[in-house]
Structure 1
Amino acid sequence: MGDNNMYFEDLGEDSSDMDLADLEEFNVGEEKNVTNDGGVKKKVLKKGQGYKRPEKGDKVFVHYVGTLLDGTKFDSSRDKGDPFTFELKAGRVIKGWDEGVATMTKGELCVLTCEPQYAYGDRGFPPTIPANATLQFEVELLSWESTKDITGDGGIIKTVVEEGKSWEQPKDKDEVTVEYKIFHNKEEVASSPQGGIEFVAGDEANSDCVIPAFSKCVTTMKKGEVAKLSIQSPEYGFGEAGLAGKVPPGAKIKAELTLVSWKSVKMVEETIEMKLLVEQEGYQKPNEGSSVKVDLVGKLEDGTVVEEKAGFEFVTDDEQVIRGLDKVVMEMKKDEKVLAKIPPEHAYGSSGGLDGKVPADATLVYEVTLKEFVNAKESFEMDAKEMMEAALKFKDKGNSYFKKGDYEVAIQKYEKAVKYLEHDSKYTEDEKSAAKKVKIACWNNEAQCGLKRKDYAGAKKRCDKVLKVDSQNIKGLYRRAQSYIGTKDYLEASTDLKNALLIDPGCREAKLEMKRLLKLQADKNKKDKKLYANMFSKISFSDHKAEPAKETEEEGEGGCQKGCCGGQEEGERAEEENAGDACQAECCSHP
C-alpha cells in the first residue's frame, strides 16, 4: 500500500450532515446529492457488490484520480501504482471524501464532485489546486477493514480482514468453534490444532478459550469471519503470568481469530438448557397439541441411560411426557437435533420416575431429534364450535395444574383458553354468551392462582377483567377484595366485600373475609395509634415536659366512638353479623 497522499492528511473532524441510513439508491449514470446541501454529488460508473458500506473508523482502500472541472489532473493513485488508504470519518481526508466513500459498496466506481466547502475552501492547495475550486474524483472502493474497540477501553481492537456469512452472531453461552494464531513481537507463539477448539462464548474465566479476548470477541463475529486482534491490555491476553518461555508477564499481544461455527444454546422456561446440535432452515415449530415423532435418548448427568426410543410419537402439551421434554420439542424445527439439560422441576421432581431408573431430584439430559410433526389447528383456522372445544380443553388443563399446585402453568393454560375466545365475530348470540362465561371462569381462576402465589397485583388485574364484563360477579369481587387485603388496601377491600354481600347477603365466605378484614384493620389502627402516641410523646417531652403526650393517651383509651376504624365495638358487631347461611354463590375459594 502507498503512503497517504499529501492532499488528504489531517483536514479536520468529520462534519457529516446526512444520515446514511436514509440514502436512496444510486443508479449507474445518475448523479445525486450525497449531502443535504448538495455540496457533494455522486455519479456511479460501475455498481459494487452487495449492500454493505464501510462505517466510521473503518480502514478503507481506494484508487482515485483527482481533476479540476476543466479536466486538469492534479493527482492519481493509479499513476503511483498503489492504492490509497485512510480511516473513514476520522478527518484524515477532505470532507467530501468522508461523505462520499461512506456511500459506496465494495468494487463500486464513481465520480465524486466536491464543492469548495467539502474540498480545500478558500485556501486551495497551491500550486495545483486554486482557491474555491470544485473538484472531481474518480474513486474505486477496493475493500475495507472494519475496526472496533471491543472493550471500550482500547484493551482489544478488532479489525475484520474477511467478512463472515449471513448476519447471525453467537450469543453468550453458545458453544463456539474457532481457529487462532497468537503473536508476540511478530513471532507466532501459539496456534489452534487442526479443526480448531471449542469453548463457551462469554465465559472468559474458562481456560478453554485460551485467552479472555477470544471469548469477548466471538460474540461480535459472523460464521467464517476472520479478524485481527490487537490485545493491548494484558488482562485480555496471558495476563501477569505470561506464556512460559514465549510471552513475558504483562505483555501486549496480537492474534488472528476465525469463527468456524457454533452451536446455539438457549434457555427454555428459564431453567432448561437447550443446545442445538443439528440446525435446519425454516421457521415452523410444533405448537400446543401437535402430533410429533421423535428419536430420543435420556440420561442421568453421570451418563446412565434411563430411556431410549426411536420413532416415539406423542401429543405435545398433553402430559404424555415430562413437561421439560414438551417444552424442548416445541422449540425445534423438523430434523433438528438438540441436547437438553432438564432440571428436576421439569422432569420427575422429588418423586423420581421411570420405574425407579430416575432418582428423586434428578437432572436429566436428553438428546432429541424431531423427525415429524403435524400442528394442531390455530384459532383463526377454527369455526366457533372448535374454538369453544379448544378453550374448554385448556380450561380443564388449567384446573388440572391448579390441583397439582403448579399455579404458574395453570395461569398459562387459562390464558390460552381465553385466547381462543377473544375474537367472537364467528359466534351467534348464544355462543357469545357461553364464551363470556368461560372467559369469566378462566379470569377468576387466574386470580385465584395469583392469590396462591401472593401475586396480588396480578390477581387484581384478572378480577378487573371479570368485573368489567360482569360488575355483579361475586367471585370477582371477593377475590379482588383478597387482592386488596394482600396489598393492605383495606378501604378498597371493604368496598368490594360490602358489594358482594349486597348481591348475596348469605355468602358465608364473604362474611368471613369481612371479619378477617375488620380484625386486620383494628390491628393496624392499634399499631398506628401506638406509633403516633410515641411520636407525640417525644415531641411533647421536648417542648412541654410530656403533658400533651399524656392527654393523647387519655383521649385514645375509649377507642373510636364512631365505629369507622374497625375497632373493638365494630369487630364485635361484625362477629354477630357473620353468623348466617352458607355462601349461596359458586365456591369462592377454588376454581
Structure 2
Amino acid sequence: MTSKNPEQTEFQGEDISPSKDGYIFKEILREGTGDELPMFDDKVTVHYISRRLDEVEFDNSRQRDRPFSFSLGQGEVIKSWDIGIATMKRGELARFTSKPKYAFGQKGHSDKVGPNTIVVFEVELIDFGGKDFSPEQDGSIRRRMIKAGEGNLRPNEGATIEMMLKGMYNDQILEERTSTFILGEGCEENIPAGSPWSLFYFSVEVCAFKMTTGEHCKLFLKSKGLVGLEKFNIPSDATVEYELKLIKVERVKDKRPDTDDEKLAESEILKTRADQLLKGSHYEVAIKKYKKIYEYLLSAIFSHDSDRQRCKYLKIASQSNLALCYMKMNNYDDAKRTCNRALAFDDKNEKCIFRRGQCHLAMRFYDRAIQDFETVLKLNPLNAAAKQQIQICEQQIKAHEVEEKQIYKKIFHKSPQANASNKIELVQIGCGPSETVAVTHPTVSTSIINGQSKQASDESLQNDLNKRTSTTSHTSKKIRMNSATSINSTTKRVASASSRTTTIDLESSTGGKKSRRPSLPLYDDANYDLVIIWVDPHIIDSEKTYVNSLIKFRRITDAVFTFDEFEQCISFLDHIYEKTAFLIVSDSVVEQFLPLVIGEPHLDFIYILNQTKRKIKLINIWKKR
C-alpha cells in the first residue's frame, strides 16, 4: 500500500529517529538480556519479518530458516535498521515502523513496496559481536568500534602514528599510555607491553592500518590472544579488553625506487634498519626488510665494478641474515632455502654453509649436516663450532638409531587379539638410521598380482625375483641406476635380510586356527598389491604419531618401508617400481625424485609430506598426464 500522506501518520512506540522528528518508532515485544548493546561495525545476526502497513508481507527470514547478518552502521542495510538495531539487546524482539526517509524512500523496493511507503519490521536480535581479527579466525582477538574516525585517509606502512592504549581486566587498569611509533615497527615501542611475538601486537598493527584519525575501538583478547601479556599474570581462561585510539597520523610517500642506483641506496638503508631489528629480536619485522632488499636488487644491473660488488654483498648478507631470522623462529625449511639462495651467489660462503648445516641438524638430516660442517672446515680448518656440530650430529645419529629400534619394538610386540587377521614379518636391513622395516601380510586377502596369488610358493616368488633382476627396465635406465651393480648389491641385501627374518604367526579370523605363510624376500614385488615408501621417518613429531600413522597406512597397503637416503629409495624402486601404486616421499628428497618419475604410467599418485604450493602444482600437472 502506498501511503497518501506518510509524514502525518502517527504511530505507537518510542521515537528513536536521530532528530526525534517522528521518522522511526520502536515497540519492544520481548525484552532482551543483559545491558550490552551492539557497537558500530559489529557483526549482527537477526531474524526479521518485513510488512507494509496493510499487513502485506514482502520479506521473511524465518521462512527461509536462515538468519541474516551484516555490519552495523556501514550502510549495508536501510538507515532505520542501522539506527534501530543499535538500540537492541541480545535476544530482544522489537517492531520498528519507518517512514520512507529512513526506509526505501521515493524509489521503493521491488514490486511489493512502492515509492514513499511506510514499512514495519519485526526484528529479533540473535547475536552480535566484534570482527574476528585473529590470524586463525578462532575468536581469540575481536575488535569492536566505539567511535568512527574522520575521513577516509588511513596510515600506510612506515607511517608515524600516535596511539592511545588502555588495557583492562576485571575493571582494573593494566596499563594506560600514549605511544608514537612507526607503523610496522611498533614492537620497538613495546606495543603492547610484553613479547613482540604476541598475537596482540599483530592485532594492534592490523587495526592501525584500518583506522582513521580519531577512531576509537576496543579489542577483546582471550586464549591465544593473551600471548605477550604474561607480565600481568592473567589467567589463561580470562578475557582482557584493550582500548585503542588513533590520535595522529603522518603518512609516508608511497614511492618505490625507480632506478637501480636508487634501489642500491634504499637497500643500504633497509639493511641497516633490518640489522637493528634483528639484534632486538624483532624477527618478523626484520624479515620483511631483508626480503625487500632481495626484491630490489635481484634484477638490478650496474656498470661500475664497485656497485656490482656492493650489490652482491647486500644480496648475500640479506639472505644470510634472513636465514638467521627464520632459524630464530624455528622455521628451518625456509632458513635452508634462503641459505641455498645466498650460496647461488657465493658457493663458498662459510657463514651460509654453516647455517645450512644447522638447519639440516635441526631437521635431523644428520648426514647432510655433517657434509656442510665438513665443507666449512675445508674452508676454515680453525672453525671450532663446525667441529662441535659434527660431534653433535654423530651423537644424534646413535641416539636416533636406538630410538627407532625402541619404536619398532613397541609396534611389533602387540597382543594377538589386536592383530588377529595379520601376520607380521620383522626384517632387519641396513637402511641408514632406520634399520627396522615392517612388512604386514593380511591372511584373508586373496588379491592377485600379475595373475599370481599371494599364496604362491617361495619357489615361484624367487623365480620371479630372479627374472626381474636379470634385465634392466626402461625405468631403471631413466633413474640412472647402474643395473648390474645395484641389482647384485640388492640381491645380497635381500639374501642377508631373508636369513634374519623373524616370523610371528597370529590367529586368523577363521576358526581360530593359525595360518602360516612363507617367509618372503623383502624386495620381491610380486608379493604386494601396494607398497608405501616412507622416506625420512624423523619428520614424525612423536612416537604416538609415528605408531598411529603406521597403523593407518596398513589399512591400505600390504607393506610399509622406511628409507633415509635418495639412492636407497631408487635402489628399492629398481625392483618394485612397476608394481607400486602409491609412494610417500618427504620434502628432503622430492626435488631429486619427482623429476625422474613425472610422466611415468606406473605410478598413480605421489603424496608429499611438508607440501609446498610449488610441489602441489607439479603433482597436479603430473596427475593430468
TM-score > 0.5, shorter chain as reference: no
Q: Calculate the TM-score normalised by the size of structure 1.
A: 0.43
Larger radius of gyration: 1
Query: More helix per residue: 1 or 2?
Result: 2
Q: Calculate the TM-score normalised by the size of structure 2.
A: 0.41
